[in-house]
Amino acid sequence: MTTSELAAPIAGMPRIGDPAPSFTAETTQGEINFPADYLGKWVILFSHPADFTPVCTSEFMTFASMQQEFAAYHTALVGLSVDGLYSHIAWLRTIRDKISFRGMKDIEVTFPLIDDVSMRVARMYGMIMPGEDSTKAVRAVFVIDPTGTIRAIIYYPLSLGRNFDELLRVIKALQTADHFAVATPADWRPGDRVIVPPAGSCGTAEERMGGHVDGVECEDWFFCTKELPAQEVESAIRGA
């Protein structure tokens, strides 16, 4: 990497609701045009600090072992680090041939891993945080919807591996909110009660508080919930 590349300014992080910044890049699965190649699907674009590191290895094995589970919710995985393509290939072969972790072994990573040795994409997405490390990407997660819009952003430091149950929960919650026009409360999982949008008029609020809206329970005019069975949620978002 050249001195000028190292000295390049750090881009601001894209925000929730922004279009996902576009780029073309080489990956372990060939060239991709992002997010154009993924329109119509949900995507988790995530970064890791470096190949051949233990926390990253545990994460890639977990992502790969859950790839079909994410796919069931129409969600593709795309990884990135500021390593080159040959390093990526060698590392993924080592994972497949040598590494066991929590009962996982012989793990084949088939989702694309972006070659970003120039840091171009990492800077575009604000993945380089100099206070943490100026030459490695932190553990960023961008959840991007089928229109190419950023819907959630989660960042972890280099030392902290991600919670994959939470990443899958985020996908389910966002898709549920979109499909049913509801919000999801703290720690929500399919089958839990969901939040009904606040009443838009005094009359609607009074009807809800009086118990006149079927299935809606209100603690106060602004805090109303209803049941949404897990089977209905799963059928809607897996079949969407």
Distance CA 193, CA 221 (A): 17
Taking the C-alpha atoms of residue 18 and residue 14, their distance in angstroms, rounded to an integer, is: 6
Amino acid at 42: W
How many other β-carbons are positioned within 10 Å of the β-carbon of residue 203?
9
Identify the sign of the CA torsion 148, 30, 111, 131: negative
d(CA 113, CA 85): 8
Nearest alpha-carbon partner for 166 in 154, 178, 150: 154
Instruction: Report the largest interatomic distance among the alpha carbons of the chain, rounded to a whole angstrom.
Output: 68
Element holding 150 (H helix, E strand): strand 150-156
Give the active site residues: 56
Q: How far apart are alpha carbons 18 and 24 in whole angstroms?
A: 18
Distance of CA 184 to the CA centre of its chain: 17
Binding-site residue ranges: 139
**Overall size of the chain counted in residues:** 240
Binding-site residue ranges for substrate: 139
